[in-house]
């Protein structure tokens, strides 16, 4: 099994201002959402998930850790119930396998991001992963970047870490 970098190390590339508004799509129990909220001392982290149980656990964990700048939203389908151009960054971590229409998610992320806002995709790396979902739904790092760019983003960086993941960081073009 590959050693993962800490959430703080991954988030450092995405969170540039402590007063940002950041969305974690597929937040689960808060692997990224909780440390992200702690880093956003003057901002807000919005955890979005389709499963209410995940959000309940996340809210309990945030309360227990004294984190007051975390909001949660349950979604059904691909719409993200946030205003246009209202967030600074969107993190999408290992949810492509659960989404039937990836283009809808990309479109929604672009819609809610401010111009110049950043999108970070963290997905299984088809070149190194030995665990995770079926190989037929993995995307090569270059394919992830191409997918992002075809939807109104410009790729800033592609990293093959933390292994076994690939991270694509992109900015929304106006």
Q: In this predicted structure, what is the pLDDT of residue 11?
A: 86
Give the structural domain span for 104: 7-172
Reduced to 3 states (helix: H, G, I; strand: E, B; else coil), residue 33 is: helix
Does the residue 64 lie in any domain? yes
Q: Is residue 2 part of a domain?
A: no
Instruction: Looking at mean pLDDT, say which of 83-87, 158-162, 164-168 comes out highest.
Output: 83-87
Q: Does 108 have pLDDT greater than 70?
A: yes
131 in a domain, yes or no?
Answer: yes
Q: What is the pLDDT of residue 125?
A: 67
Q: Pick from 5, 11, 166, 161: which is nearest to 90 by CA?
A: 11
Burial of residue 163 (CB within 10 Å: 0-12, 13-18, 19+) is: middle
Q: Does the residue 1 lie in any domain?
A: no
Q: Is the CA virtual torsion 14, 11, 167, 61 positive or negative?
A: negative
- What pTM, to 2 d.p., does this model score? 0.89
Summarize pLDDT for 116-158 with one digit per residue, the tens: 999 998 887 666 555 555 556 566 778 888 889 999 999 998 8
Q: What CATH number does the domain containing 107 carry?
A: 3.40.50.150
Tell me if 145 is assigned to some domain.
yes
**Domains in the chain: how many in total?**
1
Task: Tell me whether residue 149 is in a domain.
Answer: yes
Q: Could you read off the pLDDT of 2-56 as tens digits, one per residue?
A: 344 678 877 887 888 999 999 999 999 999 999 999 999 999 999 999 999 999 9
Tell me, yes or no, whether 72 lies in a domain.
yes
Q: How confident is the model at residue 102 (pLDDT cuts 50, 70, 90)?
A: confident
Q: Which residue has the higher pLDDT, 133 or 81?
A: 81
Per-residue confidence (pLDDT) for residue 131, from 0 to 100: 58
Domain assignment present for 106 = yes
pLDDT band of residue 1 (cuts 50, 70, 90) is very low
């Amino acid at each position: 099994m590959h050693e993962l970098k800490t959430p703080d190390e991954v988030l450092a590339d995405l969170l540039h201002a402590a007063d940002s508004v950041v969305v974690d799509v597929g937040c689960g129990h808060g692997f990224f959402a909780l440390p992200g909220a702690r880093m956003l001392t003057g901002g807000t982290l919005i955890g979005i998930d389709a499963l209410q149980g995940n959000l309940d656990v996340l809210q309990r964990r945030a309360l227990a850790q004294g984190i007051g700048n975390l909001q949660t939203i349950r979604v059904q389908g691909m719409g993200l119930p946030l205003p246009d151009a209202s967030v600074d960054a969107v993190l999408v971590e290992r949810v492509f396998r659960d989404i039937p229409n990836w283009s809808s998610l990309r479109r929604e992320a672009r819609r809610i991001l401010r111009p110049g806002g950043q999108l970070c995709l963290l997905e299984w790396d088809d070149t190194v992963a030995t665990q995770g979902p079926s190989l037929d739904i993995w995307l090569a790092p270059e394919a992830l970047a191409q997918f992002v760019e075809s939807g109104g983003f410009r790729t800033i960086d592609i990293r093959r870490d933390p292994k076994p993941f690939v991270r694509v960081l992109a900015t929304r073009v106006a």
